């Protein structure tokens, strides 16, 4: 479980790194399954693969619907330690909503331009929703500045939409206080949807892959995603979603991993998973944190500017 200090660091910075959460056979099966999906994507076979267009050519960079491809993706989604950590951070009930494999191929991995994830790319999102909303990124390979790791600008996640258009991509990496989030295989990153972030082209001989899962609270889903046309094929909490969670729990046991214990701090009920222990984030905690900003502080944080000197 997370310490109080780790929880506070997440809410302060807008991201949190957990080292070595996946290892051994669990990590090996994840990597093997990702190899198979990646091979399909590169060969342009199968379905639900995504490609980045650059200089007239396309590079494979992403695959969707991993839960439908291999049981290991189902099993790791309900790993007990991972679910406990998520529940501690959210402070409300939650469920896994969406999943993807994100790939930066060696020598050709696509960049991801600086942005905030939906819904915070929209200028109309003038505030951040009160319940924490973040992605869970399970790293399958080394990720550093050498092979296109994620860079983030911390401390901006509580002011809604942030203007990233006033400075160049180069300056966002080098002169705006961004930090590289360096990861190793088996590490897990939580990063807020509202945290400004980006990743560069991968020029190295080392690939970089992430199994990405978005866990969220139903109230967040209804506010941020249910109204969006692109999210219609990704419904929120339902009996079908509950049955999927039960399938995930069964697959974990079938693959020979420890069963997820739902009789301790971690619970599963008609609202999804929740964490009933301590330490845990208070309900709607981001409302409390946002209330501490003055209007001047909020407006200052909404615009990213270059620093007086390069890092």
Q: What is the pLDDT of residues 293-308, one digit of tens each?
A: 999 999 999 999 998 6
Neighbours of 299 (CB within 10 A): 11
Whether residue 294 is contained in a domain is answered as yes
The dihedral of CA 41, 118, 225, 190: what is its sign?
A: positive
Average pLDDT over residues 39-45: 97
Average pLDDT, the chain: 96
For residues 270 and 83, what is the distance between their CA atoms, to the nearest angstrom?
16
Share of residues in the chain with pLDDT > 70 (%): 99
Residues 57-113 pLDDT 10s: 899 999 999 999 999 999 999 999 999 999 999 999 999 999 999 999 999 999 999
Q: Is the pLDDT of residue 193 over 80?
A: yes
Q: Which domain holds residue 233?
A: 4-301
Decide if pLDDT at 309 tops 60. Answer: no
Is 310 domain-assigned?
Answer: no
Q: Specify if 243 maps to a domain.
A: yes
278 pLDDT more than 90: yes
Each residue's pLDDT tens digit, 206-225: 999 999 999 999 999 999 99
| pLDDT value of residue 310 | 42
pLDDT at 152 over 80: yes
Please state, in angstroms and as integers, the Cα–Cα distance from residue 130 to each residue in 46, 97, 134, 286, following that order. Answer: 39, 19, 12, 4
Q: If pLDDT is split at 50, 70 and 90, which confidence band does 144 have?
A: very high
| pLDDT tens string 6-31 | 999 999 999 999 999 999 999 999 99
Determine the average pLDDT of the residues in 261-265.
97
Which residues does 140 contact at the CB level (< 8 Å), separation at least 6? 27, 30, 31, 34, 185, 209, 210, 211
In a domain, 57, yes or no: yes
Residue whose token pair is 């506010």: 223
pLDDT digits (tens, 9 = 90+) for 176-188: 999 999 999 999 9
Average pLDDT over residues 119-128: 96
Query: Which domain CATH number covers 222?
Result: 2.60.120.620
Does a structural domain hold residue 257?
yes
What is the number of structural domains in the chain?
1
Copy the structure tokens of residue 140: 């399958």
309 lies in some domain: no
Return the pLDDT at 54.
Answer: 80
293 found inside a domain: yes
Contact predicate 34/66, CB 8 Å: no
Do 209 and 60 form a contact (C-beta atoms < 8 A)?
no
pLDDT at position 308 is 62
Q: Could you tell me if residue 240 is inside a domain?
A: yes
């Amino acid at each position: 479980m997370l310490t109080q200090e780790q929880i506070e660091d997440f809410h302060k910075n807008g991201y949190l790194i957990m080292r070595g959460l996946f290892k051994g056979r669990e990590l090996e099966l994840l990597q093997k399954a990702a190899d198979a999906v990646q091979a399909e994507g590169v060969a342009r076979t199968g379905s639900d693969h995504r490609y980045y267009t650059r200089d007239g050519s396309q590079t494979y960079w992403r695959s969707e619907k991993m839960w439908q491809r291999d049981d290991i993706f189902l099993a790791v989604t309900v790993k007990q330690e991972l679910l406990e950590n998520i529940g501690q951070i959210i402070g409300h009930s939650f469920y896994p909503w969406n999943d993807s494999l994100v790939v930066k191929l060696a020598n050709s991995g696509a960049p991801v331009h600086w942005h905030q994830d939906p819904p915070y790319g929209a200028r109309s999102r003038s505030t951040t929703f009160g319940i924490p909303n973040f992605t869970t990124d399970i790293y399958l390979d080394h990720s550093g500045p050498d092979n296109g790791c994620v860079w983030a600008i911390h401390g901006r996640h509580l002011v809604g939409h942030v203007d990233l258009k006033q400075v160049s991509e180069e300056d966002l990496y080098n002169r705006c206080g961004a930090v590289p989030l360096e990861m190793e295989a088996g590490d897990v990153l939580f990063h807020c949807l509202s945290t400004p972030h980006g990743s560069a082209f991968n020029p190295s001989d080392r690939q970089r892959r992430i199994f990405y899962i978005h866990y969220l609270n139903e109230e967040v889903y209804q506010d941020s995603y249910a109204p969006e046309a692109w999210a219609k094929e990704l419904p929120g909490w339902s009996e079908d979603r509950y049955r999927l969670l039960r399938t995930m729990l069964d697959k974990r046991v079938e693959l020979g991993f420890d069963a997820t214990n739902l009789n301790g701090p971690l619970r599963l009920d008609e609202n999804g998973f929740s964490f009933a222990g301590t330490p845990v984030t208070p309900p709607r905690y981001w409302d409390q944190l946002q209330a501490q900003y003055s209007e001047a502080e909020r407006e200052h944080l909404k615009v990213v500017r270059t620093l007086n000197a390069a890092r």
